[in-house]
Amino acid sequence: MPEATSHTEEFSVLPISIPPLPSFPVKAIHYLYIRRNAPKIPTPDDSRSLFIANVPSDSTEFHFRVLIAGLIGAGKFESMTFENEKKPSRSSHEPAQAIRLAAHRKRKRGDDESQREREEIAAELPSMWNRQIYRSGSSGVALLVDDRAVELVLKAVKKLKKPKDYPIWGDGIGDKAEFLGSEWLKEHNKLSYPGNDVIQATMDAYFTVFNRKEREAEQLAKRLRNEPDEDGFVTVTRGGRAAPASRDEAEEAKQKMLERQQKKKDEMTDFYRFQMREKRKAEQIEILKKFEEDKKRVQAMKEKRGKFRPET
């Protein structure tokens, strides 16, 4: 969820002109509130992103692309993430049904992580809306090309003083965004009743993912039964379900097992480090001992040489 939590910088007010619509044939002024993005958990892109509050309910990424281009020129806007938005994992230009059927087909063996991701995408339920509507007062984060672009936007907003200079919402969008109104509802009704082949493909993909996770959980449970805990005890199970009750429990158990393995590895490393220190200490003592012996031997040779008297 995009959010800004730092209050060190005040919002700049960006007024936009909402043109008359058939449902509401009156021109209106809507106010956006923008500032630099400052989330609770910083990210590398914070310096080049803007937090935007009070976005219109019919907002799309195209709307903000055109809006930013009208303020500072084209080529400065990268993407827009709205509040509570789940980023689509497939191309928006391909039909959803065709993608699901393609994802369900048998693929060649490749990267395991990519295969898992494709399976989970195919297991998702079909979307029933071709365009998202946001609740009043929602927010979003606009990602720009660099921090200089953020400065230019904030400066451009401060220069908007007269209503004639206000950007027109949706001007230049054309057919890049799906229509609302009756066409939107018709499409929703159509998407609400996908074909049997789509439902079958989705169910097959779902149970493929479910069975794989069950196998992984069972294998993890078997490994945990043979792994002693920190106190040296081994988990004993009797009958029933051998795997953890949920994926979260399996992940938690896996994490604990990895932590124990890492702890053992660190302890062994420390143990070997201790051995090396002791070995080096013993070598130093041995060197000092030999040095003292050589020193005594040299001293004895000097004394013996001093008592030598050649015959005359």
pTM over 0.85: no
DSSP annotation of 131 reads: S
CB-CB contact of 153 with 72 (8 Å): yes
Annotate 65-109 with three-state secondary structure.
HHHHHHHHCCCCEEEEEECCCCCCCCCCCCCHHHHHHHHHCCCCC
For the chain, the residue count is 312
pLDDT recorded at residue 68: 93
CA distance 86 to 195: 24
For 67, residues 6+ apart whose C-beta sits below 8 A from its C-beta are 16, 167, 169
pLDDT recorded at residue 31: 93
pLDDT by residue for the chain (312 residues), tens only, comes to 454 444 446 899 999 998 888 777 888 999 999 999 988 888 888 899 999 999 998 888 999 999 999 999 988 999 999 987 655 444 333 444 444 444 444 444 445 777 778 888 888 878 887 788 888 889 999 999 999 999 999 999 999 988 888 999 888 877 777 778 788 788 888 888 888 888 888 888 888 888 888 888 888 777 766 666 555 555 655 554 444 455 666 677 777 778 877 877 777 776 667 777 888 888 889 998 998 998 888 888 888 776 656 565
pLDDT recorded at residue 224: 67
Domain ranges of the chain: 1-85+133-178, 260-312
pLDDT recorded at residue 35: 93
CB-CB contact of 144 with 50 (8 Å): yes
